[in-house]
Amino acid sequence: MEAPPVTVMPVTGGAINMMEYLLQGSVLDQALESLLHRLRGLCDNMEPETFADHEMVHLLKGQQGQPFLLRARHSLSSPTDPWHLRYLGQPEVGDKSRHALVRNCVDVATSQSLPDFLNEMGFRMDHEFVAKGHIFRKGSMKVVVSKLWRVLVPGNTENTEPLSLSYLVELSVLAPAGQDNVSEDMRSFAEQLKPLVHLEKIDPKKHT
């Protein structure tokens, strides 16, 4: 399963408001090997780690305001592992001094009854996909290179087709709110991956 962020546990006596700093980019399928080779050289020396995850995006619609969105993810390669429930807040692009997109983030590890439980809470599944790829780490930074697969028959993760001819590349760090200096480290790491991949802060609002 895709490795969860480095710091997700609450501290004793109250949880920290965690922010995810994110840079995104993509590479064509043909360029994957050279990017992986570069990442193996740059990142921490660890066992090559791959994952195949199924993600379901659930919506809770209230009487007013925006629907509440939660992501439930589980590993297809290790089905007995806990599920991963994720809340992501509104992304903030910020000014030029901040080099990464920032969004509030809550990660919860749960038991396998998560889909039934979300259904009981009133959430309804909006869409689902399968992500397969590789994970790298560099200190507190996490690099995920993954291909997204469209699920053709709802709930059947065997029957999928690739969403595009490219791989999504995400560089992320989880840090307490206000630690904008991590975006500087991310920028310098992203520089080292050029020209294989251009990691940028992509405003999702501009793509809806």
Partner 1 sequence: MSRCRDGIRTVLRRALKVPWRFNRRWWVRRTCVCSVCQVPVLEGKSVQQTVDMLHRQLEQLGAMKQGSFWVDCETYHTTGTASGQPSKLLYVMHNSEAPLSCTALFEGGPCLMADGNFDVLMVKLKSHFQNAKGHKVESRGARYRYCDFLVKLGTVTMNSSARGISVEVEYCACVVPGDCWNLIKEFIQSFLGPNVPELPSVFATKAEGLFVPADAVDTMTQYLELFGKVRKQQVLQGASVR
Binding site for partner 1 (CB under 8 A): 1, 3-10, 15, 60, 62-65, 68, 78, 80-82, 84-85, 87, 89, 106-111, 113-114, 116-117, 120-122, 137
**CA-CA distances (angstroms) from residue 173 to 55, 83, 104, 170?**
20, 21, 12, 10
Diameter over CA atoms, the chain: 51
Whether the CB-CB separation of 57 and 126 falls below 8 Å is answered with yes
Torsion from C-alpha of 191, 5, 181, 27, nearest 10 degrees: 20
Identity of the residue, 15 or 165, whose beta carbon is nearer to partner 1 in the bound complex: 15
Least distance (Å) between residue 133 CB and partner 1: 17
Residue 92 DSSP label: B
Our CB check for partner 1 shows the closer of 73 and 99 to be: 73
Q: Which is nearer to partner 1, 74 or 201 (CB)?
A: 74
Least gap, CB of 48 to partner 1 (angstroms): 15
**For residue 106, what are its two tokens?**
């809550």
Q: How far is the CB of 8 from partner 1 (least distance, A)?
A: 6
Which candidate, 166, 162, 164, 173, places its Cα nearest to that of 196?
166
| 83 contacts 56 by C-beta, under 8 angstroms | no
Task: Name the minimum Å distance from CB 208 to partner 1.
Answer: 22
User: By C-beta, is 80 or 188 nearer to partner 1?
Assistant: 80
